[in-house]
Structure 1
Amino acid sequence: MPFKVPLGLCHIQDRIRKWNFTLITTISLPLNPDIDDIYEWVAGDTPSHSFRSSTTWEMLRPKQEEVDWCDVVWFKGAVPKHSFTMWLANYDRLPTRNRLASWGMTVTTDCPFCSREVETSDHLFLRCEYTQDVWSVVFSRCHPPLASFSDWSELLSWIRAAATPELKLLRKLASQATIFHLLKQRNNLIHNHISLSPVSIFYCIDKELRNIISARKGRKHFRYLMSMWLR
């Protein structure tokens, strides 16, 4: 059923519209009407005549000082899942058994690989005999260090000490893939009771490195990585 507006209400609405129009015409413009309007984006204290999403993002996100390991964890050509695992390991935020026990959980703290030491990040990824067997084959492709690593900082120093940008990139890719597959095998051993030899773990690492390099072979710094890895 159509709704009928009272004539008095229509009359009031018409008078309000006329009054608003009259009021607007009495307001003087701040600029000469012959001057073209301009606009500017202000990000922080910096005005700009063009919008840039990168500048807006830098203003929105919280900033912290750049850390010296940043380029070892996050870099062009990295595999996101590998970088994320490396980032967590760097901050010692992976759920190793010593951390689970420190949270009050009733779990054994023995390393699942060797069962002789407490499972810390440094032991799991660097000092365990099983882990060192995997690293020894990886090192043979990336110019091995002078001595075995005792803590995480030594691994990062070895990566950054590469003589060439290509070798540094290869070390970063290989290290991240190794950390990822060691953690994967650790979880498989604990949760699925699947035990693989260090040789089998390196086979997975080698296959993944070949796929990563092949997928990026058109990039400048990846051009000679395959020959370096397979030497």
Structure 2
Amino acid sequence: MYEWVAGDSPSRFFRSSTTWEMLRPRQEEVDWCDVVWFKGAIPKHSFTMWMANYDMLPTRSRLATWGMIVATDFPFCSRDVETRDHLFLNCEYSHDIWSEVFIRCHPPMSSFTDWSELLSWIRAAATPELKLLRKLATRVVIFHLWKQRNNLIHNHISLYVASIFHCIDKELRNIISARKGRKQFRSLMSMWLI
């Protein structure tokens, strides 16, 4: 007779689900989990959003805290220190991109001042469809702002806000079109094109 022991509980039968749970113990679910990780998201956008949520992207202010000799001013505006919140929310450049997104995703009551307000805005959507659209739009904006920041620093190429928003718009349309067969994605295109 064989016995399978997973943790402290012996069993006569092997169960892969029990083994999986033992190998990957669960932690308490964090409050931002539903905003960062969800079905239908693009992996590269999810990864960038996850890193931004943890404030782990190598912004100039973080690089300086690691002891690297770098200028900490933000390359888009050169007026403030490059932090996650300034890069994605407070800079005039990013603010102009967000204003285009807000036309389609209903603006917040006031401008975002920090990351938690952005997450609250996503969660505060009136309908599940609007919440999904806000999730998708937010991660595409975060991805493209980070991409443009890197493009400016490493390649010295600066694009206009209209060009960046054109890329965001095109990518979001492609994401929605590719998933139009899914029930929760069916109304998103009409919401985005308003």
TM-score normalized with structure 1 length: 0.79
Q: Which runs of 5+ in 1 are unaligned?
A: 1-36
Query: How many pairs does the alignment contain?
Result: 193
Residue identity matched to 1:94: L
Q: Which runs of 5+ in 2 are unaligned?
A: none
Residue identity matched to 2:106: H
Residue from 104, 128, 152 that aligns with 2:67: 104
Residue identity matched to 2:86: H
**Post-superposition shift, 1:46?**
7.0
Which residue number in structure 1 is paired with residue 99 of structure 2?
Answer: 136
Q: Which runs of 4+ in 1 moved over 6 A?
A: none
**Post-superposition shift, 1:48?**
7.1
Which residue number in structure 2 is paired with residue 157 of structure 1?
Answer: 120
Which residue number in structure 1 is paired with residue 15 of structure 2?
Answer: 51
Q: Answer yes or no: is the 8 Å Cα contact 2:3–2:10 preserved in 1.
A: no
**Post-superposition shift, 1:139?**
1.0
TM-score normalized with structure 2 length: 0.94
**Post-superposition shift, 1:62?**
3.5
Residue from 11, 27, 30 that aligns with 1:67: 30
Which residue number in structure 2 is paired with residue 184 of structure 1?
Answer: 147
Residue identity matched to 2:30: V
Which residue number in structure 2 is paired with residue 230 of structure 1?
Answer: 193
- State the Cα RMSD in Å: 1.6
Q: Answer yes or no: is the 8 Å Cα contact 2:73–2:80 preserved in 1.
A: yes
Q: Aligned pair in 2 of structure 1 residues 179, 43: CA closer, same or farther (>3 Å)?
A: same
Residue identity matched to 2:15: F
**Post-superposition shift, 1:56?**
2.4
SS in 2 for 1:188: helix
SS in 1 for 2:104: coil
Larger Rg: 1
**Post-superposition shift, 1:49?**
4.3
Q: Answer yes or no: is the 8 Å Cα contact 2:36–2:46 preserved in 1.
A: yes
